[in-house]
Amino acid sequence: MVKTLFFLLLFCMVATSAHAGLKVVGKGDNMRYDPSSFPPVMKANYDIMKVKCIKCHTLERTVVAIQTGVAPISGQPFDRNATKAYGVKMLRKPDANMSKKEVKATVELMNWLLDQVNQ
């Protein structure tokens, strides 16, 4: 009985309510968002993210950070303050090849995604 309750509880913790618009597809290095239900502005921002960010790291890193609220490498909280700091960090990398406009777009996208996850 206790075991059954435990598994039921575990199931309830895992099977959460759905967001209509936020879909994660793929595994491991191929993990990414399905932007089909993103608003047009965020779709455009995602187009920038999926081209620019993967030059140095997989989108899995970004997806995990947004979905869990924890940056996977540093283990630090990944919130609105962190998104801008990471954006600035990437902008200043010598080989980032990103403009401020592009960084701003990805920061706005990450903030929007965080809001979606938190709803």
Partner 1 sequence: MHSQIKIVLLLLAASAFMLVTIENAEAIPAFTRQHKTECSTCHTIYPELNEYGEAFQKNSYVKKTVAKSGAPVAGGEVSGEGDSEQSAKLNSPAATGGEKTKGEEQKAKSNEALLLAGIPDLIPVSFRATQNIVFNNDAADNHKFDFATRTFVLNAGGSFRDMFGFYGSYILDTHAEEEAHVDKLHELFLQWRNAFGTPLNVKFGRFEPRLNLWKANNKITTSSLLAPLSYGVAGTYPYRFTQTSSQDALEANAILWKRLFVAGGIVDRDGQDRKEGYGHVSLKIGGSDLHGNEPEMDLDNESIFDYLTVTFGGFGYVGRNTQNDTASAVKNRFYRAGGDMDLQYKRLRIKVSGVHGWDENPDYSDFAPTERNSVVIGSEAEYYLGSPVNAAALFRYEYLDDGHGITRSYVPAIVYTPLQNVKLSLEYRHEDAETIKRIALMGVTFCF
Site residues for partner 1 per CB under 8 A: 10, 13-27, 31, 34, 37, 55-57, 63-64, 66-70, 72-74, 76-79, 84-85, 87-89, 91-92, 94-97, 100, 103-104, 107, 114, 117-119
Q: Measured from the CB of residue 99, what is the shortest distance to partner 1 in angstroms?
A: 9
Conformation bin of residue 77: beta by default, left when phi > 0, alpha when psi is -120 to 50: beta
The two structure tokens encoding residue 68: 């869990």
Q: Measured from the CB of residue 43, what is the shortest distance to partner 1 in angstroms?
A: 15
Q: Measured from the CB of residue 1, what is the shortest distance to partner 1 in angstroms?
A: 18
